[in-house]
A and B are shown apart, each in its own frame.
Chain A
Amino acid sequence: MSAPAPSPTSPGEPAGYRVPSLGYRILIACLRLIPSFFLLVALPVTVLTFVHSRGVALPISTFAVTAWGLALIAFGTARYILRPTRAYGPISIAASLVALLYLVYALSLSPYRLVVPGGSASIVAGYSLFLELVMIVPVIGILVGIVVTIEDARSGTERLTFDFPA
């Protein structure tokens, strides 16, 4: 999608915005992929692999972490690129929904049973309540997406004035 045309200005209410070009947004989005990939895929997979190499059973598979991480990255990237468009609200909802599903999936794996390698001890740790607290974040993200969608439906360029001030 391309960004909408710059908003008209009225004499009594000066307003304006400067939307970065699609190519520029794609470039920045690609740069954002580096830390996103590190935080959402590389770091957790490395930690899980390290722990697994020590003989500790994993609470979640590296494949699942990679798949969910890539999904989050994809939606996050699309969300950034589409920010000046009307698709920003719906894609925000979708991105938060993916994050919420990721947490629901992790929640289904709780509690985690850890058997100490070479020993006769096992530890069962529940983290359901914590994940339920974390779910507040994507729920808020969904609310934000809904509000933005409503705002864009009312006035397609209203928020651009403030998101991309000239």
Chain B
Amino acid sequence: MATLVVPTHRRPPAIYRLARALRWIGAIVLAALIVFAGTAAYSAVEVARSSAQSRGLSASFAPNGTIEIAGSFSLSNPGLYPIRGLQMTARIANSTGVFLGRLGGGQIDISPSSTGTIPISLYIPVSGTDAAASLLTEDQYLRVDAWGNATYAYVFPVSVTLSENRSWGAPFENFRASVGAPSGGGGSVTVPVTVTFSNHAGFPEVGTLTFVIVSSNLVDCGGGSFTLDAPPGTLFDQTQNVTLSSGCSPSGGQLQSTYSSGGTVISLPREAIP
């Protein structure tokens, strides 16, 4: 050790005090940032553990020949810092990659110790020759690409991308409408029309299924209707005799079917008549 000299009590010079003050400021800033980083990491883990949820996702027929997928996306924030500007977007394609629709919601802010909910709804056109018409009659996997953006704890921008395949149960799975052999004679010819399908959707089909027999030269030969009350998971298989218009031959024509319920009208795929 160096030699002991007389103790001093004088005030440090200004430049020394400046250096000391800067050191203190640096130490305080560092400590504050360490505490902030630690609590932000802890809070982020808590948010991740709370797991975001898609709640009440349901599908149903909607007006204008569409299927509506509606529900809500909720995220709880048990952490110490807010989640700001949260917005979600999802893109849905069918099993062959055909784009079906896009849904999105936000932006919302989720305060600490609270839960934010983003309502989501998607209308997919399914009637006739729409790209999504196969949703009516074919069970399949839909590819859902979802992404979301938010700013967490004021300074951390976060974006999440999620891709998954979700099974889709068709409301008219394996839909078949067939015309049987004509019977009768003279001025009255009847044909049996049989409609079969399974309701693999998660909602009941209550309404009317109307069909029309169209000849090869596009003449309306006759038609009929079935009253539908098919809960999810049930098989529909009914036959009805239809009296054909005089001189009208269904051979080579097609069977056009329409499902209607309330204000909903959905055109089902046309079936060729051999």
Contact = CB atoms under 8 A, between A and B. Distances in A.
Interface stretch (A51-59, A67-75, A133-141): A133-141
Given A19-B2, A143-B22, A151-B15, A14 B7 contact: yes
A124 B2 contact: no
29 contacts: A6-B5, A14-B6, A15-B5, A15-B6, A16-B6, A17-B5, A18-B1, A18-B4, A121-B160, A121-B162, A123-B161, A124-B158, A124-B159, A124-B161, A130-B155, A130-B156, A133-B155, A140-B22, A140-B25, A140-B29, A144-B19, A144-B22, A144-B26, A147-B22, A158-B16, A161-B8, A162-B8, A165-B7, A166-B4
A13 B156 contact: no
Interface of B: 1-10, 12-13, 15-16, 18-19, 22-23, 25-26, 29-30, 33, 37, 155-164
B24 to A, nearest CB: 10
Interface of A: 3, 5-7, 9, 13-21, 24, 111, 120-127, 129-130, 133-134, 136-137, 140-141, 143-144, 147-148, 150-151, 154, 158-159, 161-162, 165-166
A6 B3 contact: yes
Contacts of B30: 137
Nearest to B163: A120
A24 B1 CA distance: 8
B45 to A, nearest CB: 13
A10 to B, nearest CB: 10
A16 B7 contact: yes
Given A144-B26, A147-B15, A14 B8 contact: yes
Nearest to A21: B1
A129 B10 contact: no
Contacts of B9: 14
Given A21-B1, A150-B15, A123 B10 contact: no
A16 B33 contact: no
A148 B21 CA distance: 12
